[in-house]
Structure 1
Amino acid sequence: MKQPSTKTEMSSFNISPEEDSSSTNSNEYTYQDCPKKMPLNGPYTDIDAESQNFLPEHNLGKKKYETEYHQGNASFGMSVFNLGNAIMGSGILGLSYAMANTGIALFVILLAAVAIFSLYSVHLLLKTANEGGALVYEQLGYKAFGMPGKLAASCSITMQNIGAMSSYLYIVKYELPIVIQSFVGNSNGEWFTNGDYLVLLVTFFIILPLSLLRNLGYLGYTSGLSLLCMVFFLIVVIIKKFQIPCPLPMDDGNETIVTILNTTVGQLDSKAVAYSDDVCTPKYFVFNSQTVYAVPILTFAFVCHPAILPMYEELKDRSRRKMQGVANVSFLAMFIMYLLAALFGYLTFNIHVEPELLHTYSKVYKADVLLLIVRLAVLTAVTLTVPVVLFPIRTSVNHLLCASKDFSWIRHIIITMVLLAGTNALVIFVPTIRDIFGFIGASAAAMLIFILPSAFYIKLVKKESMKSMQKIGATAFLLLGLLVMTGSMTLIVLDWIHNASSPEAHDDGH
């Protein structure tokens, strides 16, 4: 699941432009984490606990932001697992919705395009890191464009992380009421089945106490847990495709009520709605008002680029070619997982799929043990991940505002509470998770995948002229990123305006 990236000041150092840089000597430096989980070695537990390895080696004699250059110790296979884990996030829950509003063929084209573009931006980042001598995303921005470049990278990463936190809390808002109802039975509007109240309670009693810790240590294990939860989720999505009948049963009192007699489909709601056979026919190309959300949802699902550089630093016998191989394998694995999740979710619900796929099953199943287990696993993973996501955001804010000041519990608590309060306000007042996926994917994710890597490459890689094919490609990639960001944001804002003026057309995602 998506986790954030933190940044710390670092001394400049040089990485050999040679393919194998394992023997390079450098000065001391630090690195950042990613918008998703990934265990890395780190010497300063008070700064960014989730940047540590599960068994970190501490050097208490070092200064706060220093660590000696050391050989990476992550194998190729472990790096693939960590990067796949960094890519995998809550965005997978929105992919079926994207497919329903683009069609199967167009979705596959867009998914492949975003994956390929993401791999190309990894290539740009690795080459820029070698030429620019930095393994921190924000530091590359500072070397390229000074403070404006650093702020652009910092703000993009922070926005991406806040979007990740919001998407996790949306899952709590959508899924926890269903879990509670499965234990207490149908509710009559009691407060403990209201998603908004439950988000506030979970935030106050679980997330806030964990977030106030100065380091998280054991919560680094949520990295693997989140990935396992999503793999389990994918397996259940595939299984349910063959258990839920079509025409699709839906719980809607405004339609003709029929009873599903086939007992092999599980505990289906006795009040189910049969729709026309047309909805059971997959569409290959679809264009509607919600199609504009497809590309932002896909970019949100694939962004992990702040993780690339620190993982490159941790790679054993590292070379740029070897790290690119890690990225190729990881992106291919996530491409397959994303495609399977989107395809089977779409084929199950067709036009009735919701922006958050797991919530859609509640429209069909009143109770199902397998889905209950999935919900509990996902809820546990996202609840424990939110504090990990918040840590580097707070570190970033603290470093920008009070870099020269000593640690203060009052400032620590205030920043934590402001960040959580703002995120909860987003979750409560923004109607659907689709809007978070769309806005963050069109803005911060587009910056991190398209615009910043290409801009840093153009500025910092001096040995190539602007007329070279490499620079021309990077320039075209930059222009494509600007087009994607401005086009998607414009269409999304227009859709918001249309929905605001036409309440009956607004899909609240529930």
Structure 2
Amino acid sequence: MDSNTKYVELQSQIDVQTPRSAAPNHSNDRFDDLEFDVNFHPLITGEARGGSGMAGAVFNLTTTIVGAGIMALPATMKVLGVVSGLVLIVLIGILSEFSVELLVRFMVISKSSSYGEVVQCAFGKSMKVLTEICIIVNNAGILVVYLIIMGDVMSGSVRHIGVFDQWLGHGFWDHRKLLVLVVLVVFLAPLCALNKIDSLSLTSAASVALAVVFVIIACAIALIKLFEGQIEPPRMSPDFGSKEAILDLLVVVPIMTNAYVCHFNVPPIYNELEARSPQRMNTVGRITTAICIVVYALTAISGYLLFENDTEADVLTNFDRDLGIRFSSALNYIVRVGYVLHLVFVFPVAHFSLRQTVDTLVFEGSAPLAESRKRSLALTVVLLALIYMGSTMIPNIWMAFKFTGATTAVSLGFILPSVIALKLCKQSGHRSLNATEKLISWFMLVMAVIVGILGLIGNVYSLSNQSQ
């Protein structure tokens, strides 16, 4: 036996690599050989099989989370107030990390290799299909938002001037649709064509670094203006003084939950993790959550302090004005161009799980996508074309985040992981959830359902008011 095959699988008596064409077994024999604590035993032991290291997994998961959602957080802070906003950022971050741990644990217990498979194990084929549709809608919406932000920054929007217009003046070169198309074809398509998510580890590391640069600059500007007395004291709590303010409260919480959703990329990241085990993946999740909570809190506070009641749904568009400090123009360019590059590196990570899910749904029973280069490229081209068309029709990121946050994001991030855990813990019968974990799972489920329902009501009501 050569060194590449020297490993021992704890499920060695069972064919873990179930063919995609075979439906998962829903009987309790899926759990019969799992008389061990999944949190402390690796799925694979022995020599590593050349997967992703811990750092690469953290970068990929962090990149999945810190995408465009960060740009909407200052606007949510404007609605919630500083104290309420910070509490929600920390609370939702912790719950999201807990739900990731639940998802990984029950992937191992049910011997599933994807989000859809673990859902199928708990609730059957129809729920698997519904989950895959949720992932497709959520990820496609995220990628559309990325292109909208790139267009806003490069070409400008109704109330804001774009970078190209500032540099070169108005002309064909700052035409929004053309600029986005060029970025899509020249920069995004080659990265999206890669077949393994581990291949994106370096670009993910670059994207995290660029996000940190944005946070550092925004915080530095806010601190300078604060010490110079140019910033008024921020509002600490939500405003309940008007019907519009209450409606805003109903829709910003789903936007906040949307900012942490990464669960669709957890299975592929876990599957490619070197010497993978639930314990190692939990460490990845906790490090990632800590990073994201800090980045989100600093971004939300600094963005709100800088622009206060003028904070836009996409705070990047606010960086086209004089910031009231030295080198304001140069800092504005660094922030906007740097974040466009960040989104260029984030885009392929979200696209990866979108393509995998579409392939699983449409070509069920076919060979794995990694073994069919033609099918992979064809799917990439079709999906990028549809995403580009979507970016030309949706008016702004606030609209996209309000609806995906209240529906697919809250389902994928909180509802499904909790109901999977509560259902499969009964089937497994191996104390897979303790009393505290069950209580948290129920709390997360009830909270997510309430948030989703109130968010949808608020979205529909606000749209009806706008149409009148």
Query: What is the TM-score with the length of structure 2 in the denominator?
Result: 0.77
State the secondary structure of the residue aligned to 2:319.
Answer: helix
Change (3 A) 1:107 1:398: same
Structure 1 position 161, deviation (Å): 1.3
Aligned to 1:498: 465
1:447 is aligned to 2:466:
no
Runs of 5+ in structure 2 lacking a partner? Answer: 1-17, 25-29, 156-161, 240-244
Aligned to 1:151: 129
Number of residue-to-residue matches in the alignment: 421
Is this contact kept in 1: 2:215–2:299, CA < 8 A? yes
State the secondary structure of the residue aligned to 1:459.
Answer: helix
Structure 1 position 225, deviation (Å): 1.4
Is this contact kept in 2: 1:94–1:356, CA < 8 A? yes
Structure 1 position 17, deviation (Å): 3.4
Aligned to 1:22: 42
1:359 is aligned to 2:343:
no
Within-5 A mapping of 1:232-247: 232-242=213-223
Aligned counterpart in structure 2 of residue 297 of structure 1, from 255, 258, 262:
255
Q: Which amino acid aligns with 2:235?
A: K
Aligned to 1:433: 397
State the secondary structure of the residue aligned to 2:320.
Answer: helix
Aligned to 2:453: 486
Change (3 A) 1:310 1:385: closer
Is this contact kept in 2: 1:172–1:379, CA < 8 A? yes
Aligned to 2:8: none
Alignment partners' CA distance in 1, 2:40 and 2:410: 30
Runs of 5+ in structure 1 lacking a partner? Answer: 1-6, 26-67, 249-276, 502-510
Within-5 A mapping of 1:397-412: 397-404=358-365
Is this contact kept in 1: 2:204–2:345, CA < 8 A? no
Deviations 1:425-475 (A, max 9, x none): 332222211111221222111011111111211221232599966445433
Alignment partners' CA distance in 1, 2:347 and 2:140: 10
Aligned to 2:14: none
Tell me whether 424-433 or 229-238 shows the greater mean CA deviation.
424-433
Is this contact kept in 2: 1:83–1:330, CA < 8 A? yes
Alignment partners' CA distance in 1, 2:65 and 2:360: 26
Alignment partners' CA distance in 1, 2:434 and 2:282: 25
Alignment partners' CA distance in 1, 2:49 and 2:21: 18
Alignment partners' CA distance in 2, 1:182 and 1:311: 40
Within-5 A mapping of 1:41-440: 79-177=57-155, 178-185=162-169, 187=170, 190-204=171-185, 206-208=187-189, 211=192, 220-242=201-223, 280-287=232-239, 288=245, 289-313=247-271, 320-364=278-322, 368-404=329-365, 415-440=379-404
Structure 1 position 148, deviation (Å): 1.6
Deviations 1:255-286 (A, max 9, x none): xxxxxxxxxxxxxxxxxxxxxx9x82310112
Q: Which amino acid aligns with 2:408?
A: A
Q: Which amino acid aligns with 2:252?
A: A
State the secondary structure of the residue aligned to 1:299.
Answer: helix
1:459 is aligned to 2:417:
no
Is this contact kept in 2: 1:447–1:481, CA < 8 A? yes
Identity across matched positions, percent: 26
Change (3 A) 1:8 1:450: farther
Alignment partners' CA distance in 1, 2:450 and 2:272: 34
Q: Which amino acid aligns with 2:142?
A: A
State the secondary structure of the residue aligned to 1:431.
Answer: coil
Q: Which has the higher contact order (CA 8 A, sep 6+)?
A: 2
Q: Which amino acid aligns with 2:73?
A: L
Q: Which amino acid aligns with 1:151?
A: V
Is this contact kept in 2: 1:297–1:441, CA < 8 A? yes
Alignment partners' CA distance in 1, 2:460 and 2:238: 20
Q: Which amino acid aligns with 1:182?
A: Q
Change (3 A) 1:229 1:286: same
Structure 1 position 162, deviation (Å): 1.0
Change (3 A) 1:304 1:216: closer
Alignment partners' CA distance in 1, 2:267 and 2:380: 27
Q: Which amino acid aligns with 1:17?
A: F
Is this contact kept in 1: 2:206–2:345, CA < 8 A? no
Tell me whether 337-346 or 477-486 shows the greater mean CA deviation.
477-486
Structure 1 position 478, deviation (Å): 2.1
Deviations 1:315-341 (A, max 9, x none): 566554454344233212211111011
Alignment partners' CA distance in 2, 1:94 and 1:151: 30
Tell me whether 110-119 or 79-88 shows the greater mean CA deviation.
79-88
RMSD over aligned Cα atoms: 3.7
Alignment partners' CA distance in 2, 1:313 and 1:72: 12
